């Protein structure tokens, strides 16, 4: 196991992240030697919480604090947080991120020997055998379902919030994603000016939820211009046409989630200007999913962490991972 000491946090940030942290040095593939930083806190049924663009594991702190009795694992994607940075925006590819996450999942042994064969896709059975609960927001959603497609036997349940795990027949992306493909101006905005890190509050139901030290914590890992390939890379990773390279890589996860017969819970911030309207198509595609609607924005972890934690607990109860009545 190639676990190493995690990088230290600055004094001003330490009180906001009072959790156990570790780091894993990848051993395989083109990113061998690069390090994935993660929060790995608590004991109990495992929960894997994955952020998206342009955040890091700091995003999940409020949810983790509300999940005593669970083992909460929140990695930083390569290029983000305290994980190793990738130098070019084109280094950010779905398959490359999935390869790193898959190696981490296996190194941590999440869900191994715990998931039950009770469901056709690896859901935990009523016998109480355990698997990992996957939780994803923004790019974290399609990446966790892609991970599940590779290891369905390890998955007990799924919580999704303000994400898109479906592959549209005519992908275009939002105005934000189309701007990211504009030559020159997008490089200046993302790399030199640090866009969109100074504008996260504009995507919120309550803009005050990302201000002051919270906003500073999101900017801090990408303070240096040379480290800012990630936000542009993930924006360009969103499919813009049927032949975009992400489409083929995303299809296995989209197929898995639509066939998954274990518990799913959708927690949505409907005031999200990017993905607020995506709830309807996910409800259509996942008709058995429980749904919690909120007036939060895109980064709903900052506004309704209690509802996300409650969804994890509800899914865990329905999966038989913990005792309790599922609502």
Q: What is the pLDDT of residues 36-61, one digit of tens each?
A: 999 999 999 999 999 999 999 999 99
Q: In this predicted structure, what is the pLDDT of residue 125?
A: 34
Per residue, the 3-state secondary structure of 260-327, as one string, reads CCCCEEEEEECCCCCCCCHHHHHHHHCCCCEEEEECCCCCHHHCCHHHHHHHHHHHHHHHCCCCCCCC
Cα angle: 280, vertex 121, 59; to 5 degrees: 55
State whether residue 51 is helix, strand or coil. Answer: coil
Q: In this predicted structure, what is the pLDDT of residue 325?
A: 55
DSSP string, 179-242: HHTSTTHHHIIIIIS-TTGGGGGGGSSSGGGS-HHHHHHHHGGG-SGGGTHHHHHHHHHS--ST
Q: What is the largest CA-CA distance in the chain?
A: 56
Name the band, by pLDDT with cuts 50, 70 and 90, for residue 327: very low
What's this model's pTM, rounded to 2 decimal places? 0.94
Q: What is the mean pLDDT of residues 282-299?
A: 98
Q: In this predicted structure, what is the pLDDT of residue 174?
A: 87
Whether residue 103 is predicted with pLDDT greater than 60 in this model: the reply is yes
- Eight-state DSSP code of residue 2: -
104's CB contacts (< 8 A; 6+ apart) are 24, 26, 36, 38, 75
Q: List, for residues 146-192, the tens digit of each pLDDT value.
A: 999 999 999 999 999 999 999 988 898 889 999 999 999 999 999 99
Continuous segment of H or E residues that includes residue 170: none
> How many whole angstroms separate alpha carbon 156 and alpha carbon 134?
8
Of 188 and 118, which is predicted with more confidence? 188
Name the band, by pLDDT with cuts 50, 70 and 90, for residue 128: very low
Q: What is the mean pLDDT of residues 102-125?
A: 65
Q: Which CATH architecture has domain 3-319?
A: 3-Layer(aba) Sandwich (3.40)
Whether residue 22 is predicted with pLDDT greater than 60 in this model: the reply is yes
| All structural domains of the chain with their residue ranges | 3-319
Least confident interval from 128-137, 191-200, 266-275, 301-310 = 128-137
């Amino acid at each position: 196991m190639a676990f190493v000491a995690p990088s230290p946090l600055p004094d001003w940030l330490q009180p906001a992240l009072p959790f156990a942290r570790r780091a894993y040095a990848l051993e395989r593939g083109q990113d061998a030697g690069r390090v994935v930083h993660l929060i790995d806190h608590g004991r109990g049924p495992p929960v894997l919480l994955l952020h998206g663009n342009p955040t890091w594991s700091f995003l999940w702190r409020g949810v983790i604090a509300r999940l005593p009795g669970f083992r909460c694992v929140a990695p930083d994607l390569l290029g983000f947080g305290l994980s190793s940075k990738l130098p070019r925006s084109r280094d950010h590819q779905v398959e490359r991120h999935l390869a790193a996450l898959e190696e981490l999942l296996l190194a941590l042994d999440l869900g191994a020997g715990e998931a039950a064969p009770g469901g056709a896709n690896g859901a935990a059975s009523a016998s109480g055998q355990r698997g990992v609960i996957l939780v994803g927001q923004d790019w974290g959603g399609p990446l966790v379902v892609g991970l599940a497609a590779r290891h369905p036997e390890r998955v007990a349940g799924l919580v999704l919030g303000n994400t898109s795990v479906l592959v549209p027949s005519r992908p275009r992306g939002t105005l934000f994603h189309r701007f990211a493909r504009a030559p020159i101006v997008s490089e200046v905005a993302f790399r030199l000016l640090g866009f969109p890190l100074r504008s996260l509050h504009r995507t919120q139901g309550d803009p005050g939820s990302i201000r002051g030290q919270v906003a500073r914590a999101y900017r801090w890992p990408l303070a240096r211009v040379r480290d800012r390939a990630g936000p542009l890379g993930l924006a360009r990773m969103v499919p813009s046409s049927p032949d975009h390279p992400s489409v083929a890589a995303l299809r296995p996860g989209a197929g898995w989630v639509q066939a998954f017969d274990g518990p799913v819970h959708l927690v949505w911030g409907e005031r999200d200007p990017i993905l607020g309207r995506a709830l309807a198509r996910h409800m259509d595609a996942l008709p058995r999913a429980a749904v919690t609607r909120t007036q939060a924005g895109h980064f709903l972890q900052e506004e309704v962490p209690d509802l996300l934690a409650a969804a994890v607990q509800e899914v865990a109860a329905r999966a038989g991972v913990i005792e309790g009545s599922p609502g």
